[in-house]
Amino acid sequence: MNETEFHARVQAILDAIESQADHWFEVLDLDVESARQGNVLNLTFENGHQVVINSQAPLQEMWLAARSGGFHYRFDGQHWKDTRGGPDLHDALSQICSDETGHKLEVNL
C-alpha cells in the first residue's frame, strides 16, 4: 500500500471510531469522550481511563495504547493484524471499550 492509501485508511478508521464513540454517548448514554488531534484519537471513559489510537506512517502501522498494554497493527489486505499475534484491531478495540464501559460494544472499522 502506498502512503496515500495508508493515510486514507487511517482517516477512515479514526473517523469510524470517533463516530461510534459519539453514538455510544448519544444513544446508549455511555460517558465516552473522544478528542482528536491529527492522526491521534483519545477516548476517555467515565472511569477516567484512556485509550489512544494513532498511526505510525513510517511503519504503516496503527498503534493502540490502553490500560491492558500497547499494541501494533499492520494491514494484511483485509484486516489490521496484531504484529504479535493477538486479536485484530477491531476485536481488540471492541473488548477494551466493552471492558471500560461495562457494556458489550462492537467496534466496526
Secondary structure element (H or E) that encloses residue 66, with its range: strand 61-66
Range of the domain at 7: 3-101
For residue 99, give the amino acid letter. D
Enumerate the H helices of 1-109 as residue ranges.
3-27, 89-101
What percent of the chain lies above the pLDDT cut of 70? 100
Is 107 domain-assigned?
no
- Provide the number of structural domains found in the chain: 1
Mean pLDDT of 3-13: 95
Q: What pLDDT score was predicted for residue 34?
A: 94
Is 83 domain-assigned?
yes
| Mean pLDDT, rounded, of the chain | 95
Q: What pLDDT score was predicted for residue 61?
A: 97
pLDDT tens digits for 45-83?
Answer: 999 999 999 999 999 999 999 999 999 999 999 999 999
Is 94 domain-assigned?
yes
pLDDT tier at 35, thresholds 50, 70, 90: very high
Is 71 domain-assigned?
yes
Mean pLDDT of 5-25: 95
Domain with 87 in it: what CATH number? 3.30.920.10
Is 109 domain-assigned?
no
Is 60 domain-assigned?
yes
Q: What pLDDT score was predicted for residue 23?
A: 94
Task: Give me the phi and psi of 68, to 5 degrees please.
Answer: -80, -10
